[in-house]
Chains A and B, each alone.
Chain A
């Protein structure tokens, strides 16, 4: 999940990777850096998304050497889109590309399976996202502060993790602003709790 605010973005994800019903990794970091100020949330096949984000990261690094400037979030999103669309028949990758750049500030781009690319004020993805569409639509409002965005992401992920068997573990956050990237982890009893039956 990623949310844009004035001055940056808040990116968040759960930490569960499964092979069937076995939890292969309960502390996964699904927030992957592709550039100093651009991260992506990976969902779908872990192998596919790791391979694609490695390639995008390489391209962005090369571009940065050539232009002597940090890459735009839009550029990263288009590179993801190009690859996800061209190889759509072979890949199973849902990606949310979010970050900050000097030109357009904080941006969130959603690149779901199939390879479409669309900029949104916030985006959710992954198997757990289906359970929280109602929640995010009812709670989201434009003009939120960084703290409000963090609360929004944390609550949404907590609810999804509670209902979806393929989601769980800890909540990982990354706040990307002009100052840089701040990583946070929310574990155990710090994860917000709602109605538990």
Chain B
């Protein structure tokens, strides 16, 4: 599907005759080309999983992470242009720190989402600057209640129970929809998230990848952290075994 802007797509300050801002739509395409990231909101917290493609064996392991902490209690996963997202991380961290300093409490995620979305939207109004080429997923656990929001390059925030962004988002979305996530704990969802990333990863087009897993919830006492190595190893083992099982069952059917 390619839509030609024919002159109305040169700057974000112009509408097209059918009411679209093409620059923002092109920015969304940039996100669609990046590798997959998913977020799942469970009963007692939020889990992020990112498929971090390794394009060279020479890269240091764990370089260019795509999951960030914006404050002790808020985490963020991204899809799209990494450097654009890093800029937003800085903005969000400053916003969260200033709120804490001024009001004496950790920033509520809804408030932070509002602020970041207003900022991203600002970049869709002028011809001199381009919109952010990244979608960001924010997650937090406040007063016993998990929350997750996704902001796309237009700046619009939506609250989600499950979200997938990037090249395999359709497949990931299908898998996420199979889960009854509102009844599941993060300990269970961490395994499911790892499994989904392994399922949607395209072995042919993209070779190796590093799985990034993080969570925030009851089990981390409200702090956003990368999932500990032992739990991550278990989750990956579950993912690979489930994948092997489904491969086997496919072979049987064919036989």
Write the residues of chain A forming the contact surface with B, with a CB cutoff of 8 angstroms. Answer: 63, 66-67, 72, 74-75, 77-79, 81-82, 103
9 residue pairs A–B, Cβ–Cβ below 8 Å: A66-B111, A66-B114, A74-B103, A75-B103, A78-B105, A79-B102, A79-B103, A82-B102, A103-B143
A75 and B111: CB pair below 8 A? Answer: no
A103 CB contacts on chain B under 8 angstroms: 143
Chain B residue total in the interface (Cβ 8 A): 9
Interface SS majority for chain B: helix
- Which residue of B has the minimal Cβ distance to A72? B105
Instruction: Tell me, in angstroms, the Cα distance from A75 to B108 when the chains sit together.
Output: 12
A66-B114, A67-B110 known; A78 and B143 CB under 8 Å? no
A67 and B111: CB pair below 8 A? Answer: yes
Interface SS majority for chain A: helix
B105 and A74: CB pair below 8 A? Answer: yes
Shortest beta-carbon contacts, A-B, top 7: A78-B104, A75-B103, A74-B104, A78-B103, A67-B111, A74-B105, A75-B105
A75 and B104: CB pair below 8 A? Answer: yes
B108 and A67: CB pair below 8 A? Answer: yes
Instruction: Tell me, in angstroms, the Cα distance from A115 to B103 when the chains sit together.
Output: 15
**Chain B stretch 132-174: residues in CB contact (< 8 A) with chain A:** 143
Instruction: Tell me, in angstroms, the Cα distance from A181 to B208 when the chains sit together.
Output: 63
A66 CB contacts on chain B under 8 angstroms: 111, 114
**Chain B stretch 79-107: residues in CB contact (< 8 A) with chain A:** 102-105
Q: Shortest CB–CB separation between residue A111 and chain B, in angstroms?
A: 12
A75 CB contacts on chain B under 8 angstroms: 103-105
- Which residue of B has the minimal Cβ distance to A68? B110
B108 and A78: CB pair below 8 A? Answer: no
Of the listed residues B104, B108, B111, B143, the one surrounded by the most CB atoms of chain A closer than 10 A to its CB is B104
B111 CB contacts on chain A under 8 angstroms: 66-67
Q: Shortest CB–CB separation between residue A96 and chain B, in angstroms?
A: 16
Instruction: Tell me, in angstroms, the Cα distance from A72 to B100 when the chains sit together.
Output: 13
Q: Shortest CB–CB separation between residue B58 and chain A, in angstroms?
A: 48
A67-B108, A103-B143 known; A78 and B114 CB under 8 Å? no
Instruction: Tell me, in angstroms, the Cα distance from A74 to B104 when the chains sit together.
Output: 7
- Which residue of B has the minimal Cβ distance to A60? B103
A82 CB contacts on chain B under 8 angstroms: 102
